[in-house]
Amino acid sequence: MDVSLCPTKCRFWRVFLLWSVWGDYVLSVLACPANCLCSKTDIHCKKPDDGNLFPLLEGQDSGTSNGNASINITDISRNITAIHIENWKNLQTLNAVDMELYTGLQRLTIKNSGLRNIQPRAFAKNPHLRYIDLSGNRLTTLSWQLFQTLRLFELRLERNPFNCSCDIRWIQLWQEKGEANLQNQELYCMTMDAAVIPLQEMNITQCDLPEISVSHVNLTVREGENAVITCNGSGSPLPDVDWTVTDLHSINTHQTNLNWTNVHAINLTLVNVTSEDNGFLLTCIAENVVGMTNASVLLTVYYPPRILSLEEPELRLEHCIEFVVHGNPAPSLYWLHNGQLLRETEIIRMEFYQQGEVSEGCLLFNKPTHYNNGNYTIVATNKLGTANQTIKGHFLATPFPESTDNFVSIGTYEVSPTPPITVTHKPEEDTFGVSIAVGLAAFACVLLVVLFIMINKYGRRSKFGMKGPVAVISGEEDSASPLHHINHGITTPSSLDAGPDTVVIGMTRIPVIENPQYFRQGHNCHKPDTCKFLLFFVFSFTLFFFFLVSVFFPPLGFREIMLNPISLPGHSKPLNQGIYVEDVSVYFSKGRHGF
């Protein structure tokens, strides 16, 4: 038959068959107690039985000698979660050894049986017990200490002949508080007069919870010191008092003192207190038959700082130097970079959180450069001391290596953190030269303007090339005139009275109107001699101006520039006196360079 063709139901029945075979094997190995029904998780013993022992699973001989039976008993007992026993009249005692195999037990029912006594610590190995039913038995007393480690949601105690005594005072208190669902149960007790009364009405004198007091609420010591603390327990009945110091690292001793009949005192001495006990709760417990009372003392140990770890820079979201520091009181933290105090900036900052005595965090770097390389020292300090530790941080290589193959070297120099760059001048020469230059320029401009005005004003000719108020045309001089035949060029005295715009021809005065286009000239330099004179004057003046400039402004070369604090190897000028750029050019021209 092909397994792949087997339907799902077939596979399910195969699994069920294998499980049944395993169950039969278990039953063959383990025998259920008489008059009981057993399953993988429950044991039910409801039939009456005359046995006086708690029912236990028993191993059977399966023909093997390798110890499988005992192993199966332990494993199967651990899986039992519920045990139900009824009508076992001869079952009078419940021992711790009877219950220790059932470590997974959650529900225990023993009712209508003959149970009279339960040994102390009977349920010490059953931490998962939540439900206990002891109703209908013959319990006359019961100790609260059986249940102090359990978290019961229900404890049933009806129909038990309790004696009205201080031993069951705790049940009355639990019933009043509503613990373990006892408030809904009708509980009774029998007085010394054989009267049965409700448990709530029981009145027992000198039967109360113990009272406790301690000499310190908070105990503060320094590491290595000794300390003594006292706990006093009082009450009736007189309680037992002790300190619970199971996990304490410091050396401790206990000393009991019974000073009065109703006070039990105990001293706890701590020797050579260690920092590991900082924050430890020292608990004093006072117990009697009614119940338990406790008080705690917080132990505070002061010790100097300790740097537990300091890691090399690691790139996360930012570069982080992680650290963990202990100290009490909490130490203050600061950093040194190459021995100098490191101040926080936008690039470098410290972030940490503090939980108790532990300070844990990072020194963060936002995009560090080679300037941030170096030794980083964390310093932790409090009033008891100081601790420091150093680690090397390398973030980025120097951009200019020591090799001189690809750059020009001008010698060894140092650069200050914020080097000022200043330019030096020669104030005497520069000021005097500037003044002379400005003066000459102003003088030249004024002179040119004056010459221009004079030429334009005095260099014009008359409209007719004649001077005088009247132009007279005579015979010989004006023979070219078309009107020279009139009066033969004779001038009369009356012609002297003519205006500037008239011409006398013969004895007649004729007004003349100017032709604007006749006297229009492109420039006033209509005479060649005048133009040559002006050009010669301008050229001479220009030469004279440049001569003055050359006298008062000799070639100064390059300006002197202060490069502080740089100097050239082999140069005679000391530092802080500056160098000339022309000196640098000469320096390189002499071959003192490298490529």
Q: What are the per-10-residue average pLDDT scores of the chain (595 residues)?
A: 47 49 46 84 88 75 44 78 93 92 94 94 94 96 94 95 95 94 94 93 92 93 94 92 89 74 86 92 94 94 94 90 94 93 91 89 91 93 94 86 51 49 51 70 76 69 47 43 43 47 54 55 53 65 68 49 44 44 42 40
pLDDT number for residue 583: 44
Among residues 274, 329, 327, 276, which one has the least CA distance to residue 305? 327
Among residues 68, 104, 114, 58, which one has the least CA distance to residue 83? 104
pLDDT number for residue 436: 73
- Per DSSP, 87 falls in state -
Sort residue 174 into left (φ over 0), alpha (ψ -120 to 50) or beta. alpha
Does residue 464 form part of some domain?
no
pLDDT number for residue 21: 43
215 and 291 share a domain? yes
- 250: domain CATH number is 2.60.40.10
- Per DSSP, 551 falls in state H
CB-based contact 290:173 (threshold 8 Å)? yes
55 and 153 share a domain? yes
- Per DSSP, 367 falls in state S
Q: Could you tell me the strand order of the sheet in which 502-505 lies?
A: 471-473, 502-505, 508-511
The total of other beta-carbon atoms located within 10 Å of residue 146's CB is 18
pLDDT number for residue 451: 75
pLDDT number for residue 261: 66
Does residue 481 form part of some domain?
no
What tokens were used for 568? 């050239």
51 and 141 share a domain? yes
- 59: domain CATH number is 3.80.10.10
CB-based contact 554:548 (threshold 8 Å)? no
- State how beta strands 471-473 and 502-505 pair: parallel
Among residues 493, 446, 441, 450, which one has the least CA distance to residue 472? 493
Bond into 516 cis (ω within 30): no
Does residue 503 form part of some domain?
no
HSE-CB at 508 with a 13 A cutoff on CA atoms is 10
Does residue 56 form part of some domain?
yes
Task: Please tell me the total count of domains within the chain.
Answer: 4
316 and 291 share a domain? no
Does residue 276 form part of some domain?
yes
What does the longest C-alpha to C-alpha distance in the chain come to?
194
276 and 316 share a domain? no
293 and 319 share a domain? no
318 and 271 share a domain? no
| Residues 6 or more apart in contact with residue 368 via CB below 8 angstroms | 319, 347, 348, 395, 396
342 and 218 share a domain? no
Does residue 185 form part of some domain?
no
Cα–Cα distance, 397 to 372 (Å, whole number) = 10
234 and 295 share a domain? yes
Cα–Cα distance, 469 to 484 (Å, whole number) = 20
Last residue of a domain, one of 97, 127, 160: 160
What tokens were used for 54? 């708690």
What end-to-end distance do the CA atoms of the chain give, in Å? 90
| Residues 6 or more apart in contact with residue 530 via CB below 8 angstroms | 459
What tokens were used for 315? 């790139």
409 and 266 share a domain? no
pLDDT number for residue 11: 55
Does residue 80 form part of some domain?
yes
Last residue of a domain, one of 393, 416, 446: 393
For 589, the domain range is 403-425+559-595
Compute CA distances 172 → 116, 163, 201, whole Å. 20, 12, 9
Last residue of a domain, one of 277, 301, 325: 301
Q: How far is CA 333 from the centre of its chain?
A: 14
Cα–Cα distance, 32 to 21 (Å, whole number) = 18
pLDDT number for residue 381: 95
42 and 105 share a domain? yes
Does residue 418 form part of some domain?
yes
116 and 222 share a domain? no
